């Protein structure tokens, strides 16, 4: 059940390990805000923020019958 926590630990460890370099090289006033900076920050923060819904849905138990019945009710409307 806790196997997905391994990749999250590595992801967030890498994030916090390299945060000082990110602040030094990518955040203003050290760098002009251009497309390269935007791409680097997008590449860095999308995986970090994107794992939150995955972890929440993994650890919250959902009854499959309730999920399927709610899907069919929406599709009939």
pLDDT attached to residue 17? 92
Smallest CA-to-CA distance from 4 within 61, 56, 55, 77 is with 55
The two three-digit tokens of residue 5, written as one number? 């926590």
Distance in angstroms (rounded) separating the CA atoms of residues 58 and 4: 9
Instruction: Identify which has the larger pLDDT, 18 or 37.
Output: 18
Q: Which phi and psi angles does 63 have, rounded to 5°?
A: -70, 125
pLDDT attached to residue 56? 78
* Mean of pLDDT values over 16-29: 81
Which tens digits make up the pLDDT trace of 36-56?
778 878 888 888 888 888 777
Mean pLDDT of the chain, nearest integer? 75
The two three-digit tokens of residue 67, written as one number? 């999920």
């Amino acid at each position: 059940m806790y196997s997905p926590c391994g990749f999250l630990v590595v992801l967030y460890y890498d994030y916090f390990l390299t945060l000082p370099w990110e602040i030094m090289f990518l955040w203003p006033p050290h760098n002009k805000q251009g497309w390269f900076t935007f791409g680097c920050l997008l590449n860095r923060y999308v995986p970090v923020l994107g794992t939150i819904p995955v972890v929440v849905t993994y650890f919250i138990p959902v009854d499959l019958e309730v999920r399927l019945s709610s899907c069919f009710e929406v599709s009939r409307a």
